[in-house]
Amino acid sequence: MTTLSNPGYPPGTVITGKWRNSRYIVERMLGKGANGKVYLVHRAGVRGRYALKVGHDALDLQSEINVLNALKEQMPDPYLVEADDHHDGSHEVSFYVMRYIEGSPLHRFIRKRGTEWVSLIGLKLLEKLSVLHASGYAFGDLKPDNVMVSAYGRVELIDYGGVSSFGRSVKQFTEWYDRGYWNAGSRTGDVSYDLFSFAVMCIGLLDEKSLREASCQLPQTRSVADLQLILRRNPVFKPYAVWLNKALCGNFADSREALNEWKKRMYEGTVKSARPIPGRTPRWLRNAFALSLVIMACAVYFFFRS
């Protein structure tokens, strides 16, 4: 098939919308997947860059666009910019334009910057998920490739192709992160489905080797117990274990509760000693201030002496 061997559009290609006439100029390809290719583009004559996804299949892409449109009203800064068709010389293709998310996928970020970022990024990701959940949608295909992290730990979800309304079947999933794969429940999109994936993702980020080993056994014996065993064996999970266990067992009522408990647990241990008390001046500032007072006193003293 043409779509499989197709190398994609070279830099400088102009993509023109058939219905709305916007023109986008390709800078480079950002990535490709089962559903399409994503390019970094800018609008002709305007500054500002976008990501533009060209779909392999008009129907699949439209169903992704429908989800993004439905979410547009709920999101503080909308992800979807516009959708249109483009005639690329040989055939008609559908595309949509979205916000360009700069950064690297979660697993690469953690590998580069260290596992101590997991608690903060986990928190930000849970915030994103709870916005989605509040609109009645499950993300579905939650995995490190679909979580982009910018240089200072800003987190964004990409690839909404797996999103489904609560109570509907999950459209796309990936073995390790799938509740069904671990014989731990249905493939129906709900809050706990995403929280389960989130938990497996954390396990993979903190101890990929053990997760890989656990996934290698016979399919019929695979279970949550194997994941729980990893939590118990490796001390790196100490601050996370109780929370992760609860997510694996589907014991959070909703993602707000999950978020609050994450906050509570993560910030109790690590940040407690250094936590600034709201409304009070941090100690380093007080010390610095005290020091500057001393210096000023000396300066004044010397000034009057001379």
Indicate the SS3 state at residue 44: coil
Judged by CB, which is closer to ligand ATP: 52, or 224? 52
Residue 33 vs residues 38, 53, 154: alpha-carbon distances, Å: 8, 10, 23
| Residues in contact with ligand ATP, shown as a per-residue x/- string from 37 to 76 under the rule CB under 6 A | -x------------x-x-----------------------
Residues 240 and 252: their CA atoms lie apart, in Å, by: 15
CB of 50 to ligand ATP, least distance (A): 8
Residues in CB range of 186: below 8 A, 6 or more apart: 179, 180, 193
Give DSSP secondary structure letters for 166-226: TTSBPS---GGG-TTTTTSS--B-SHHHHHHHHHHHHHHHH-HHHHHHHHTS-TTT--HHH
Whose Cβ is closer to another protein: residue 57's or residue 257's? Answer: 57
- Minimum CB separation of residue 180 from another protein in Å reads 5
Q: Which of 84, 159, 178, 190 binds ligand ATP (CB under 6 A)?
A: 159
Nearer Cβ to ligand ATP, position 169 or 287?
Answer: 169
- Out of 25, 30, 75, 131, point to the residue binding ligand ATP (CB under 6 A): 30
> Which one of the listed residues 141, 159, 190, 194 is annotated catalytic?
141
Binding stretches for another protein (CB under 8 A):
19, 58-59, 62-63, 65-66, 69, 83-85, 92, 94, 167-171, 175, 180, 186-188, 219-220
- Cα–Cα distance, 219 to 57 (Å, whole number): 33
Structure-block tokens of residue 192: 């706990």
Q: Which is nearer to another protein, 175 or 213 (CB)?
A: 175
Q: Taking contact as CB under 6 A, which single stretch among the options 69-77, 94-102, 225-233, 280-288 is the one that binds ligand ATP?
A: 94-102
Q: Tell me which residue has its CB nearest to Mg ion.
A: 161
Residue 141 among the catalytic residues: yes
Handedness of CA 65, 70, 76, 81 (dihedral sign): positive
CB 86 within 8 A of CB 16: yes
DSSP class per residue in 65-113: HHHHHHHHTT-SS-SEEEEEEEE-SS-EEEEEEEE---SEEHHHHHHHH
Residues in the site for Mg ion, rule: CB under 5 A?
Answer: 35, 159, 161
Q: Summarize as ranges the residues that interact with ligand ATP (CB under 6 A).
A: 30-36, 38, 51, 53, 98-101, 145, 158-159, 161
- Active-site amino acid positions: 141
